[in-house]
Amino acid sequence: MKNISKFKVDKTILIPIILFAIISILTLYGANSILPSHMDDLVIKQMMWYVAGFIIAYLIMTIGNSWIYRITWFLYGIGVVALIGLFFFGVNINDATCWYEIKGIGTIQPSEFMKIILIITNATLIAKFNEDFPNPSLREELYFLIKIGLVVLVPSVLTFMQPDTGVVLIYLLITLVMLFVSGIRYRWFAILFGIIGVMIALVLGVYFISQDLFIKIFGTSFFLRVDRILDWSNQSGFQLENSLSAIGSAGLFGHGWNTNPIYFPEAQTDFIFAVFSSHFGFIGSVLLLALIAFFDIRLIMMAVKTNKLINKYIIAGVAGMLIYQQIQNIGMTFGFLPITGITLPFISYGGSSLLSYMLAMGLIFNISNENMRYTN
């Protein structure tokens, strides 16, 4: 255990998180009039999730990253077992079995925590490989990539079967970003992208040849998600059309907090940025984007300054995960990217996602503490 009284918290990371929490709670409260009646307590729940999240971050800071790195495979095993358990004990919501229901608490989504576990596992494997093979041959890199691939494949298949394709994409992107930072030969990325391209082509080929066959292979829920992604440029969709109307009519300063002239579904999660923009207008949106950009840049700068390789890979994985989700969520709000159901980190409502982000922040706080002690 670490002496937490001597812990140095990076305020340039902590303050944006606190601001995200305030923005999230205010936006959710302001969206109350367009939310279903059974969601009246979302603000209270989000506040509770944030309190629990800060407690988790504090516990991670107390334990220290070194201890967590030592139990990497134990954590990975728990994550895989939790994903398998969904097929027996999970609850089905919107044709997807991604959650456990815990009485008195709500639903817990294991795949959200698996993202962080995968970052830790990948970082441990990459750091050990670079330590064991300072100048690896092509064969040594190939064996290493196969090992990493198998580690990612297991949770990806289990999550895909739920189905939750959005999280599978995040698994893959996290891994690609971490491998890019690891220093392996770039030619492997051309091969990896080629393999991914072939897989996507096969899936789309089945979709266009026979949609009945597609549904038999992948299931109705996955079919609907692919169908929505392929049709994302059709702006007649109710969610996207109303989201653009809410943002476009907000002007410079917005319609005002707690004023929602236009209704659209999933305002608390997928389209939380549209709600914020509707309330606070162009000026508010620019300020929020600036805050997000500042936070991301601070993470990238921390990765550059970090000397310990495993810490560098942890930051790369966390930053890659957050930046991708930010771009995807905000992009789909404006119709630039397909609607995938990926939420806006720290802002959208969500217990499992928020707890997983705060778990990641606990790791980041430990790394920043090490960096500040090393430089001072």
Phi and psi at 100, nearest 5°, equal: -100, 145
Provide the pLDDT for residue 33.
Answer: 73
Q: What is the pLDDT of residues 4-19, one digit of tens each?
A: 556 678 899 999 999 9
| DSSP class of 97 | E
In sequence order, what are the residues at sequence separation of 6 or more whose Cβ sits closer than 8 angstroms to the Cβ of residue 194?
none
Structural domain tally of the chain? 1
Provide the pLDDT for residue 145.
Answer: 92
**Band of pLDDT at residue 231, cut at 50, 70 and 90:** low
Mapping DSSP to helix (H, G, I), strand (E, B) and coil, where does residue 98 land? Answer: strand
Out of 45-49, 186-190, 275-279, which region has the weakest mean confidence (pLDDT)? 186-190
Quick check: 151 pLDDT over 90?
Answer: yes
The pair of three-digit structure tokens given for residue 27, joined into one six-digit string? 């936006």
**Band of pLDDT at residue 170, cut at 50, 70 and 90:** very high
The pair of three-digit structure tokens given for residue 54, joined into one six-digit string? 């800060």
The pair of three-digit structure tokens given for residue 249, joined into one six-digit string? 């009519």
| DSSP class of 100 | E
Quick check: 142 pLDDT over 60?
Answer: yes
Provide the pLDDT for residue 23.
Answer: 96
| Distances, alpha carbon 269 to alpha carbons 6, 266, 272, in Å | 37, 5, 5
Quick check: 38 pLDDT over 80?
Answer: no
Provide the pLDDT for residue 236.
Answer: 45
Provide the pLDDT for residue 268.
Answer: 79
Quick check: 375 pLDDT over 60?
Answer: no
**Band of pLDDT at residue 255, cut at 50, 70 and 90:** confident
Provide the pLDDT for residue 315.
Answer: 96
Q: What is the pLDDT of residues 279-296, one digit of tens each?
A: 899 999 999 999 999 999
- Domain extent, residue 157, equals 4-375
Quick check: 176 pLDDT over 70?
Answer: yes
Looking at residues 165-171, what average pLDDT do you find? 89
Out of 4-13, 44-53, 93-102, 314-323, which region has the weakest mean confidence (pLDDT)? 4-13
Out of 162-166, 168-172, 256-260, which region has the weakest mean confidence (pLDDT)? 256-260
Task: Output the average pLDDT for the chain.
Answer: 86
Quick check: 235 pLDDT over 50?
Answer: no
Provide the pLDDT for residue 226.
Answer: 72
| Distances, alpha carbon 302 to alpha carbons 50, 308, 316, 368, 371, in Å | 24, 11, 10, 7, 8
Looking at residues 47-72, what average pLDDT do you find? 93
d(CA 211, CA 38): 35
